[in-house]
Structure 1
């Protein structure tokens, strides 16, 4: 990316914005340690296939035809060998479920790395991602990659495992306007799993994180998770003392619970403060926080999905563990609805001395475009 393009992406974000275990007990397994650090999951994270179906409650209004065209253009730039690396059967459920917050040097990804592509192929690959997501979502993808470039230059160890070339793209099934297919893109602190079926789409599971939280490019401050973090913290900052007491979980939670490798569909029992007990202004704040995640997707699907989550807003709960400090150690925030599940946590690694963000967005009835796993 040119310096000018980087600054544009950074400005856009500043302006607009795990091998894990389930349950409400301590979870530390997805804590990223960097390539040199290993940590609980580095190189040992495993994935067990779930027998996914295609009956998930997908969002309507997907731009499937545009994605089909973009994927076709990308695949046409590849050699036969590269196509074999980048493409999989749609029924390869274990590969479809292989995503992580770890660097790819710790947890290998499926598909082909950007670093293994020609300039033309890499541009076409990123055009696929740009078509799948919104303008804000794409700016965030770029900023997360730039954060990884920062780690490559400034990490205390394992620098070769960082950098924007260590992000992978994979295509599952034959892209079609009628038949199901999936596009997967991700690397360190990023996972996009978009499944298309006709004019509908599933946009989860989605992992978004960043390390560091903030950095500079020239004179520009880049904050890849600003929109998500600001809106989430605003919800909890608005709580009265009585509401805060209901929202606080008794468990200590050190990292996301429903991360990579957790596809049983067994979400933790709903706990915390019911949104139905909030004021109208506070309810809108919760919806804004949800929208910060949903609106990463292309506008049509995002509008449909947000409407679904809004319809279940009074059945949604907000909860936190440990503390709600922006820079607090192990600050943990959660939004838990009939379908929507969002977690945001401050976690620590060996790559930098500061805490950084891990976040996950899942749909209980639509991960991977499937009703299974489900509750």
Structure 2
């Protein structure tokens, strides 16, 4: 890692989150415990970016529906005038911009690309159609549900809730020229969502990926919406299944956690030392079930191939927890740590809603941004 900080984003806008710029360390409080929406309700955040050389030699098992994605991306770009296209279609070699994602709202951490609110209805429809092709039906629906959660927060009004919304918080960018053979990337995200999809021929990377939900569920249009239900249900079921001995062995010894370790700005490829309980034969089914909702955000063939890769590595994969393990408990922190897969999940608080809400990050140690050598 070069260790050169190439950008720092400062903001003073309000945010409902509990300060998750992924600066949390074991036993410490991210943003000093007084981050956005945390105890004391801070009024600002800092996100730094470290110089990273992102190549395209990632360890992907393939199966990408690249040709269909190229067609959808070209259709979206064709709706743009020259001014919008210059803002949205960025160079694939612009690594700093490719790293610009966060779980904070866009008012707090500025995004690259263009906000949905600055697109026409036809252009927004084309952007979403592009994401619909790139993702599975479940992955695309999660995008819509997380956006609905922002609309719900905005409807609450008051401190920490104003200013959210599916048009305001969500940005779209395309890096490189969409091609069936040359690398390119789709980036879509905002508050509690980061979709970073990198294509290189039949190879695809869907990481880094961030999903979150505040609140964990709510009612919209007479229906219950729970944007992170599949991920949370499977993970909590896994840890609830552990025997007392296994649970003790899985407990992290490095301290307590108040947020995610490998969230935004952690792109140097250096992951924490592996800790916890090595997955046993009896636990493999539940561990795979916990990984599957993340992987299944990809289109079918690529998802199946990637899940098979992670399954082959389960004998060298560990599960771990800190603080608590209950779905409603404060600061429940859960982790799956394999040779390739890295998943973190935490219950965190906000100042907008009375109960916990979810943060989760999924990374592939061998394929973030389609890269094997973040250096």
- When normalised by structure 2's length, the TM-score is 0.90
1:22·1:267 contact (CA, 8 Å) conserved in 2? no
**Which is helix-richer, 1 or 2?**
1
1:56·1:366 contact (CA, 8 Å) conserved in 2? yes
- When normalised by structure 1's length, the TM-score is 0.90
The alpha carbon displacement at 1:30 in A equals: 10
| Other-structure match for 2:64 | 62
Q: Secondary structure at the match of 1:161?
A: coil
Q: Secondary structure at the match of 1:265?
A: coil
1:34·1:102 contact (CA, 8 Å) conserved in 2? no
CA distance, structure 1, for counterparts of residue 90 and residue 76 of structure 2: 15
| Other-structure match for 2:229 | 226
The alpha carbon displacement at 1:60 in A equals: 0.5
Q: Secondary structure at the match of 1:45?
A: strand
The alpha carbon displacement at 1:128 in A equals: 0.8
| Other-structure match for 1:302 | 303
The alpha carbon displacement at 1:27 in A equals: 5.0
| Other-structure match for 2:6 | none
Q: Secondary structure at the match of 1:44?
A: strand
The answer to whether structure 1 residue 205 and structure 2 residue 208 are counterparts is: yes
Size of the aligned set, in residue pairs, is 352
CA distance, structure 2, for counterparts of residue 26 and residue 305 of structure 1: 34
CA distance, structure 1, for counterparts of residue 83 and residue 364 of structure 2: 35
The equivalences for 1:322-333 within 5 A come to 322-333=323-334
Aligned-CA RMSD value: 1.9
2:25·2:257 contact (CA, 8 Å) conserved in 1? no
Q: Secondary structure at the match of 2:187?
A: strand
2:211·2:360 contact (CA, 8 Å) conserved in 1? yes
- Unpaired runs of 5+ residues, structure 1, are 1-17
1:27·1:256 contact (CA, 8 Å) conserved in 2? no
- CA 1:286–1:254 in 2, change beyond 3 Å: closer, same or farther? same
The alpha carbon displacement at 1:22 in A equals: 7.1
- Unpaired runs of 5+ residues, structure 2, are 1-19
The alpha carbon displacement at 1:38 in A equals: 7.2
Q: Secondary structure at the match of 2:247?
A: helix
Structure 1 stretch 186-195 or stretch 218-227: which is displaced more?
218-227
Residues 157-183 of structure 1 deviation map (CA, whole Å, 9 limit, x = unaligned): 254531000200101001101000001
The alpha carbon displacement at 1:25 in A equals: 4.3
Residues 306-325 of structure 1 deviation map (CA, whole Å, 9 limit, x = unaligned): 11100000100000000111
Structure 1 stretch 263-272 or stretch 19-28: which is displaced more?
19-28
| Other-structure match for 2:193 | 190
CA distance, structure 1, for counterparts of residue 346 and residue 327 of structure 2: 10
| Other-structure match for 2:145 | 143
2:37·2:349 contact (CA, 8 Å) conserved in 1? no
Match of 2:264 among 260, 263, 268: 260
CA distance, structure 2, for counterparts of residue 238 and residue 211 of structure 1: 26
CA distance, structure 1, for counterparts of residue 352 and residue 269 of structure 2: 32
- CA 1:29–1:121 in 2, change beyond 3 Å: closer, same or farther? same
| Other-structure match for 2:373 | 372
